[in-house]
Amino acid sequence: MSEYTPQDIASHKSRDDLWIAIHGKVYNITPYIRDHPGGVDVLLDTAGTDATEAYDEVGHSEDADEILQSYFIGTLKDAQEHRPKNKTVRVIQQPAKSMAVVSKSPKGSRSILKKIALIATSNVGVALPVYLFFSSGGNVDIHKFLPKSLPAWPRSLSIASLQQSTAGGKGSFTTGFTTATILMGTLAALAIPKLSALVSPDSGFTKYPPHMKSRRAPKANPHLAKGFLNPKDYKSLPLVRKDELAPNVYRFVFDLPKSTDVIGLPIGQHVAIKAVINGETVSRSYTPTSNNTDLGRLELVIKCYPDGLLTGKYLANLQIGDTVQFRGPKGAMKYSRGLCKKIGMIAGGTGITPMYQLIRAICEDEADETEVSLVYANRAEGDILMRKELEAFAKAYPKKFRVWYMLDQPEKGWKYGSGYVTPAVMKEKLPGAAPDTRIMLCGPPGMVNAAKKGLAGLGFQPPGAVAKMSDQIFCF
**Annotated binding residue at 27?**
no
Catalytic residue status for 175? no
Helix, strand or coil for residue 356?
helix
- Residue among 242, 376, 412, 381 at smallest CA distance from 317: 242
- Residue among 445, 447, 269, 286 at smallest CA distance from 358: 269
Q: Is 138 left (phi over 0), alpha (psi -120 to 50) or beta?
A: left
d(CA 404, CA 361): 19
**Annotated binding residue at 303?**
yes
Contact 347, 311 (CB under 8 A): no
- Choosing from 27, 286, 314, 356, which is the catalytic residue? 286
d(CA 225, CA 13): 46
DSSP 172: -
**Annotated binding residue at 284?**
yes
Give me the half-sphere count of Cα atoms (radius 13 Å) on the Cβ side of residue 415. 1
- Choosing from 179, 270, 289, 370, which is the catalytic residue? 270
d(CA 8, CA 97): 63
Catalytic residue status for 287? yes
To which H or E segment does residue 323 belong? Answer: strand 323-330
Provide the sign of the torsion angle of the four alpha carbons 207, 209, 211, 214, taken in this order: negative
- Residue among 47, 13, 17 at smallest CA distance from 30: 17
Catalytic residue status for 340? no
- Choosing from 27, 179, 376, 442, which is the catalytic residue? 442
**Annotated binding residue at 353?**
yes
- Choosing from 179, 287, 289, 350, which is the catalytic residue? 287
List Cβ neighbours of 413 (8 Å cut-off, separation of 6 or more). Answer: none
User: For 165-169, which contacts have Cβ atoms below 8 Å and span 24 or more sequence positions?
Assistant: none
Q: Which residues are catalytic?
A: 270, 286-287, 442
Binding residues, by number, are: 284, 286, 301, 303, 353
Binding residues for FAD, by number, are: 284, 286, 301, 303, 353
